[in-house]
């Protein structure tokens, strides 16, 4: 599968075209950003870890009949994926309060929600990825009501598969962000599922031990070790 030209470069990944117009190569970078790109750095081996954790997660979801863009792994840092028409939305699911919901609504970090909380954000760095409700999605013409229902249903199903998947690896799936796209009328999961886009807490600790990008966002140190620990627990 020959790599052709760069078709898109995001903050954490680059997409390359291939000789098949329906397939693209997703390359994972070591570069890390936070706060809409205002904070920048590098986490050594992050690309390799995120590619391989994402691959394992996509394979697990596919085995449960949840469609994703994943086709196969090409190298340590690259996967072949189906080309989707992406919705400019981030769908966030929260099992435990932390991050922006704790800040915005004053909910103490660590509180477990009885039912998962779903949120939508507009993918727009210039606007700071604002929180959206369903009316905003309609007024901006970002996705039909039916498509939002489908993404919501898929996100809840993905949570039901991934909660036990990570718990078996002694990891609490605190929250995560998904991006979806369309292919031939079907909605598929795209992007990545990794320590960049999920919050993972060690389930074997009494206190909060963060195994995700919060170590970078909050300047806690030990980010490479946290990513490698997640790689060990998920891929080995």
Q: Which residues bind ligand TMP (CB under 6 A)?
A: 92, 99-101, 129, 175-177, 197-199
Residue nearest to ligand TMP (CB): 99
Which CB atom, from 3 or from 123, has the smaller least distance to ligand TMP?
123
Which lies closer to ligand TMP via its Cβ, residue 83 or residue 177? 177
Q: How far is the CB of 105 from ligand TMP (least distance, A)?
A: 11
Residue number, 71 or 91, with CB nearest to ligand TMP: 91
Largest CA distance in the chain: 51
Alpha-carbon distance of 94 to 173, in angstroms, equals 9
User: C-beta of 99: minimal distance to ligand TMP in Å?
Assistant: 2
Looking at residue 62, the DSSP 8-state letter turns out to be: H
For ligand TMP, the closer of residues 4 and 88 by Cβ is 88
Q: How far is CA 174 from the centre of its chain?
A: 13
Taking the complex as a whole, the smallest distance from the CB of residue 187 to ligand TMP amounts, in Å, to: 19
Least distance from C-beta 5 to ligand TMP, angstroms?
27
Q: How far apart are CA 124 and CA 128, in angstroms?
A: 6
Closest approach, Cβ 119 to ligand TMP, in A, equals: 7
Q: How many CA atoms lie within 13 A of 156 on its CB side?
A: 9
How many Cβ atoms sit within 10 Å of the Cβ of residue 179?
20
Would you say 166 or 176 has its CB closer to ligand TMP?
176
The 78-82 sheet, strands edge to edge: 6-9, 13-17, 23-28, 78-82, 70-75
Residues 231, 80: Cα–Cα separation, whole Å: 20
């Amino acid at each position: 599968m020959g790599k052709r030209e760069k078709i898109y470069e995001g903050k954490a990944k680059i997409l390359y075209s291939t000789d098949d117009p329906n397939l693209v190569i997703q390359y994972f970078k070591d570069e890390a950003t936070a706060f809409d790109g205002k904070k920048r750095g590098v986490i050594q081996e992050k690309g390799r870890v995120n590619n391989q954790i994402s691959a394992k997660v996509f394979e697990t979801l596919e085995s449960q009949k949840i469609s994703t863009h994943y086709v196969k792994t090409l190298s340590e840092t690259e996967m072949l994926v189906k080309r989707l028409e992406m919705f400019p939305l981030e769908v966030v699911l929260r099992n435990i309060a932390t991050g922006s919901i704790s800040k915005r609504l004053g909910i103490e970090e660590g509180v477990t929600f009885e039912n998962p909380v779903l949120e939508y954000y507009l993918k727009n760095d210039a606007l700071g990825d604002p929180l959206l409700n369903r009316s905003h999605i309609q007024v901006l013409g970002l996705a039909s009501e039916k498509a939002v229902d489908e993404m919501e249903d898929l996100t809840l199903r993905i949570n039901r598969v991934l909660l036990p998947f990570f718990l078996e690896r002694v990891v609490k799936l605190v929250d995560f962000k998904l991006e979806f796209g369309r292919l031939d009328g079907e909605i598929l999961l795209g992007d990545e599922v990794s320590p960049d886009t999920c919050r993972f807490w060690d389930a074997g600790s009494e206190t909060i031990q963060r195994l995700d990008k919060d170590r970078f966002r909050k300047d806690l140190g030990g980010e490479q070790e946290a990513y490698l620990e997640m790689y060990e627990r998920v891929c080995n």
